[in-house]
Copies of this chain bind each other. A is one copy, B any other.
Amino acid sequence: MSNFHIGVDLGGTHLRAALVNTQDGQILTSQKEPTHAHEGHQPVMERMVYLIQAVLQEAGIPIENIGGIGVGVPGTPDLLTGDVKFLPNLPGNWRDVPLSRFLNQQLKLPVYLLNDVRCVALAEWRFGAGRGVENMVCYAIGTGIGGGVVLNGKLHLGIDGTAGELGHQVVELNGVPCGCGGRGCLEMYASGPAIAAMGAKFVLHGHTTRIGELVNYDIGKITAATVVIAANEGDPTAQFILQQAGSYLGIAVSSVIVTLSPQKIVFGGGVAEAGDLLLGPVRKTIIERVHMVPLDKVQFVRAELGNQAGLVGAAYWPVVCTQK
């Protein structure tokens, strides 16, 4: 079996491909291009082929030496057929698109699809912050909140690969409506847009907060990063917002801990870069709430692979799929 695999990340703005040594998780070469998703799925799939070919050419490795291609998609792939079933946030009519078959026909390599956040979790478990444990839960906190669950040394897939939708744990019985169709989902309280919206709300309501100054009171420009900067500068309102978000995240993680009693919880995604401003309240909440699982044996760690995790996990997915 080859140690070289191709990882592809189909993102909303960029399409990325990398040649990865799946023995050690190192990226040998990678390239990216704008996705131009509005052009429709067919041009995007063709661009994906060129990108993979460009990566192989740059690396100077013949295609025969490649073990397979893994593609991380922002939605639900059909794990059996290799079709993309549905991508909620990508234009281009990605409904029942035979992506695996197309790439396989063009490149003559086996192709395996996986949800992009599950790719992140897989990479962090195998090569990053989650390595060395049998049971790990990974939260990726950014524009949305997603995740992945590794149990007994295996990525847990559940029905149609839907396990790990951690942004839709319910944290408020009578909570606000979520884009998923539900209410009170974690994503509405601790994602980047949720934090930004809380920031905007405080500024709009006339609170004296550094958040407003940082964007010259142009409310639409407030992001989670703005709130984090203000909090780091000591702004109490910004700190309160991150504390709120962290409490909700802590509640959600507490429920996961009593259910699965995992050895590690990994926090990744852009919002996790807030560091202790967010993860401090997460830990505090967990310590207050979890008493049935020995917390001294649960590690809370930041993700290590940054925005490479998706590519590395995608490349590692064919290895998992062809094991035994």
Q: Hey, which bits of chain A sit against chain B, CB under 8 A? A: 135, 149, 151-152, 154, 156-160, 162-166, 168-173, 180-185, 247-248, 251-252, 254-256, 258-263, 288-294, 297-298
Contacts and interface: CB of A to CB of B under 8 A. Distances in A.
Given A180-B292, A289-B182, A251 B170 contact: yes
12 contacts: A149-B259, A149-B260, A159-B262, A159-B293, A163-B261, A165-B259, A165-B292, A166-B259, A168-B291, A169-B258, A185-B289, A255-B255
B251 A173 contact: yes
Contacts of A173: 171-172, 247-248, 251
Given A149-B259, A255-B252, A259-B256, A294 B165 contact: no
B151 A298 contact: no
A156 B162 contact: no
Given A152-B154, A160-B294, A294-B162, A170 B261 contact: no
Given A159-B263, A183-B288, A170 B294 contact: no
Contacts of A247: 173
Nearest to A173: B251
A293 B158 contact: yes
Contacts of A185: 289
Contacts of A291: 168, 180-182
Given A182-B289, A292-B165, A170 B248 contact: no
Contacts of A259: 149, 163-166, 169, 256, 259-260
A281 B290 CA distance: 27
A172 B251 CA distance: 9
A293 to B, nearest CB: 4
A158 B262 contact: yes
Contacts of A165: 258-259, 261, 292-293
A158 B135 contact: yes
B290 A168 contact: yes
A154 B156 CA distance: 13
A204 B151 CA distance: 48
Contacts of A293: 158-159, 162-163, 165
Contacts of A181: 291
A288 B169 contact: no
Given A255-B252, A294-B159, A170 B289 contact: yes
A168 B258 contact: yes
Given A149-B259, A149-B260, A259-B169, A298 B159 contact: yes
Given A182-B288, A183-B289, A251-B173, A260 B156 contact: yes
Contacts of A172: 173
Contacts of A170: 251, 254-255, 289
